[in-house]
Each structure stands twice: as C-alpha cells, then as structure tokens.
A and B are shown apart, each in its own frame.
Chain A
C-alpha cells in the first residue's frame, strides 16, 4: 500500500539570527537583510513524511508552499531531501493574508492536488508562532487533526488509521485517528535528514515559471520534454479556483490597527564592570536588603 502525502512548508525570515546588520538605527528589523530559511518545524514534518515513504514504498510526497516566487527555494530543498514534487502558490492578490486567508488558499491548493491520505506540516512558523494554519486547513477540508505531534508510531493503510504520540501541556499522549487527516509536527520530533547529493544534482536547476527570464524559459522548453521534473508547478489564485473574497487582505478578518514603537522606560540603573570588588559589594547589598536570601 502506498500513500499520498502532502507536506506544507513555509519560507520564513530567520528570526533566530537577527544580527546587528539587520537592525536599523530606529531599532526595527530590516527584513530584507535577514536570510530566508525553511521554517524549522516544517523540516520535522518532512522527516515524518520521508519515514512514511520508506515504510510504504511507492508513496509520493508533494510539498506545497505559498509565498513570493523565491519561496520555490524551500521546494528545491525538500526535493534534495527526498520529496517527489512541489507546488508554489504565488500571486499578487494573495498578499496581505492573515492565517485564515492563508489556510483557505492552501486548502484550495490541496483540493487541486486532489488525492491525499495525510497532510503534514510544522506546528508553527517562527515568524508568527501562531500555530493556526494547520488546524484551519483541517477544518476547511473537513478533516480531523493531530497537533503537536512528536512521532507517528504506526499507520495502517488498510484500516486507514494512524497512531501518533503528541505533546500536551505537562505531558504526552498517544492518539489514534482516521485517515485522511492533518498532522502538525513539533520541533522536538526527529530532525530532518540532510540533502542527498544525487538528488541535489538532479533538482538544483528545478524552477517555477516566475523564476525564469524569458531567455531561460526559451532555453528550458526543449529540456523539459526529457526532464519534466525541472519544472516546479506554479499556481496563481485562478488556478486553484480561489474565491477573491477569501484570499489576501479581503479574506483576512484581522486588521492591523496600529504598529507602535516601544520605547522602554529607562530605569535609573547602576552600571559596573564586573570586577571582583564590585560583584562582592553588589552581593553584600542584595543580601543586606534581603533582596536575595
């Protein structure tokens, strides 16, 4: 029995490495100066998919992302690591989407992909930490969900059941759920395997249409006949039959009213260098004033 697996992936600014070069004098982050990375927990999800593929030979993994044309980078990365094909949903009207408009768009793309047994994604993306898109997609597709997954313990394709160990507040639980479903994977799950050198060679020139100059597109056309895998599928809003009222800004119930710069109220502070004398005196003071016991 083989499985049809969809993995959701997002390209995110690397919020973990906001170096001084990315800071403007006003204290805000210049997003453009941040490297764009594969959202870490989506890699954990990809690993769970790859394990299922090993267990059920003949399974296929489709990776789906939505973003700017350059988000095709995450598709290539997933192909290097073992995914079979990728889809990039990119279109102007999709911009400004909140989580609800995003999940609507992705659920439309999943419907277009069609056949699926399991949809895997990271628990949350590091640029928002909201963890909303997975459950919202599940709801829109009428599927159940298992969030915060640590490990897929078993899957029975005949009975269409999956057993998953998941993290809960203060502990763990094991649940059995019916296929098809959405599973969101925690960062504590197994890390993703590295790139495979052969696959890297095979897919490094794979692109979506929007990444090609007219000349490149022309040169690629004859090659694609023999190597169709060098074309990564690109979809716009119309390709996935998206209702214009439910995508982008229009499909987003949330509005940003204001963004305020926070100026920390400076306290009167004492500055020291950390010499022995200073630390000794500081500790004595804190003890005398019963601030520490």
Chain B
C-alpha cells in the first residue's frame, strides 16, 4: 500500500530504457519516502521479464502476461492499471512520456480522478501548504508532508513550475526518455514477482481495438547518443538552411538536432526536436545555430559539455550558458566552420 509504482513499457519482450530510467528515479523517491518500489510489466510471452527490472531495485514486479496485451492498446492496459491501483492504492505512479505513456496516463488519471503532470524534468519530495475549507466552512491552512514535486518548464518565459496534487492519489507524472539517468542498483536485487490472472483485471469486452499492421523502423539517427550535436533553430530560416547544418554535421561526425520553432516551421523532422517535449541530449559539444535558448529548449541540452552559440543577436539567452559565443549570422559563420574544419583536420 502507498508505494511508488512505475508502469514499464515493453516492446516485444524488452523493457524500454525510459522505464528503466524511471525505476532508477522511483527507487530514490521510494527511499526518501521509506516505502517500496513496485512496477507493472504487461504484455505477452513475458517469461523472465523480471530479470530486466529487478536490478534497478524493484521490490515487487506485477506481471500481466496474456495474448491480447501486446501490441499495446488503450483499453486493456487502462483496465489492468486502474484495477490494480484500486487494490494497491499507490501514492506515486510514473510513466514514460512516450506515445504509449501519453495514451495510457491520461486515461488512468481520468478513471482514478488523480492529477497527471506531463513531461516533468525533475521529480522531488517535499512539503506543501494550502488553504482549504474546514468543516465549519472557514479557510484553514493545511500542511501536507512528503508530496511529489512535479517540476516542468512553464510557458511564459524562463519560468519553471512546481506542481503538486495534495488531495488525490496516485500522484502521476510522465517523463521523457533520457531526462532521468538509468543506474543498476544491485544485479542480484531480490524482489517479489507476482503473475496476475489477467482475466480478473481485464474483462474480455475491453479488447476492442485490433492492431492490423505494425512497422517499427530502425532509428534514422542517433541524436540521443551523439557526441557532437549541431542544432538549428528558427534562425536557420529554411529547410535549405538546414542542409548547411547536415553538411557541417557530416564533417564533424555529429547529429543534427533542432528547436521546436524550427520543427514547427517544417525545416526538419519532428524526431530531431531537442528539449522538454523532445529529445534530451548530453553531448560533448553542442553547436546551437540560430537558437534563442528558451527554457523548454535549454531543458533538453543544458548538460552538454561545451556549448557554442552562433546567433546574430548578442543578447540571445542561450549565450549566457554558452562557452563560445559567435556573434554573426549562420549564413556567414556555418560555412566557415566547415571550411576551417576541413583545413585543420587534415
């Protein structure tokens, strides 16, 4: 009861990295709260799946193994999570901010009337005071201990909001892949494994959506793991502007990333978006070209080793966190980077 839960996403038989990252975070939160860490593994043919999750310090693995649970569809997974939570009454539930997590999380939160915060960049435990009405209808200050602080950039400038859900459980949050760090706690960690009778949690009538066809392609790029990232923003001006960045990236063996403004403008594919609602990167070198550096973007690249900013505006916010600031236009500077890299790397 009152434990920390992580919903583990499973592709075939493999638990997703984002779920393992959340187990690592969940373990720390559970330690702070003095409770246990539990997780849900739902899919089909999941024999031995616990071996993938126990090393992250899971005390209890709930396995739901049945034919219709893979590929994921909304209703059966919602049913099993909601019914399990009605029994277990967790205080916290973490999910990946993936297509699946963003499909499942809101459905579960609606069914349980619990708050859900999307795309958190930090999770902490702390106290909270709020004025609430007492029995006599008077306002009274109420002190809530050990609340989950769900921290995320907010729209409206360089501001970060801390969200709490004092009156409702579980406190639910989604987090993007790569935001939290994945760390094995103990390869031999001992936890309990419970194989549930799926039919008890998921009525037959929930299997309403049929997956007719499914293609998973190999990722076209390795932005997440790249040692050098060349990122372009709205200041690149066009798709053609981005060609220049692909050229530079090719020379440097780098990957190309982008701001949301560049993605929205259609300069480059959405899967290259870096930031709070995109990919989080931690490269050795980050070259920001025509990016102003709004908080949502910075959230996805602030741990880069060396940051080089090329911007025509000397006061662009990103310049404050850059190691090298080049005041100039991308049209002028990027070709020079290519030229002098070619010259000097020979």
Report A's interface with B, CB cutoff 8 A: 13, 15-16, 18, 23-24, 26-29, 31, 40, 98-100, 103, 127-136, 138-140, 144-148, 163, 167-178, 187-188, 252-274, 276, 278-280, 282-284, 286-287, 291-293
| Nearest-neighbor residue (CB-CB) of A126 within chain B | B264
Query: Once the chains bind, are A257 and B118 in contact (CB under 8 Å)?
Result: no
Chain B interface residues (CB < 8 Å from chain A):
71, 73-75, 78, 98-100, 102-107, 109-111, 113-119, 128, 130, 149-150, 154-168, 208-217, 219, 228, 252-253, 260-261, 264-265, 270, 276-277, 284-285, 294-295, 298, 305-307, 310, 314, 317, 319-328, 332-333, 336-337, 340-341, 343-345
Shortest CB–CB separation between residue B160 and chain A, in angstroms? Answer: 5
Closest to A12 in B: B155
Please tell me if the beta carbons of B320 and A267 are within 8 angstroms of each other in the complex. yes
A19–B117 Cα distance when bound, in Å, is 28
* Partner of B325 from A252, A265, A271 at Cβ < 8 Å: A271
Known contacts A129-B118, A136-B106, A172 near B215 by CB under 8 Å: yes
* A and B contact pairs by CB, cutoff 8 A, 10 listed: A16-B261, A135-B102, A136-B109, A264-B320, A267-B307, A272-B324, A278-B326, A279-B337, A291-B284, A292-B341
| B208 proximity list for chain A (CB < 8 A) | 144, 177-178
Residues of B within 8 A of A293 (CB): 252-253
CA A169 – CA B80 in complex, angstroms? 22
A215–B300 alpha-carbon span in the complex (Å): 53
* Chain B hits for A29, CB < 8 A: 155-157
B102 near A131: Cβ-Cβ < 8 Å? yes
CB distance from B53 to the nearest CB of A (A): 19
Task: Chain B residues near A269: list those with CB within 8 A.
Answer: 319, 322-325
Q: Is there contact, CB below 8 Å, between B163 and A171?
A: no
A100 touches B110 (CB 8 A): yes
User: Are the CB atoms of B118 and A279 closer together than 8 Å?
Assistant: no
Q: Identify which of A23, A139, A172 contacts B111 (C-beta below 8 A).
A: A139
A26 to B285, CA, bound (A): 30
Task: A265 to B320: give the CA distance in the assembly, Å.
Answer: 7
- Minimum distance in angstroms from B198 CB to a CB of chain A: 18
Please give, as numbers and ranges, the residues of chain A lying within 8 Å of B78 by CB-CB distance: 139
Which residue in chain B gives the minimum CB-CB distance to A16? B264
Residues of A within 8 A of B345 (CB): 287
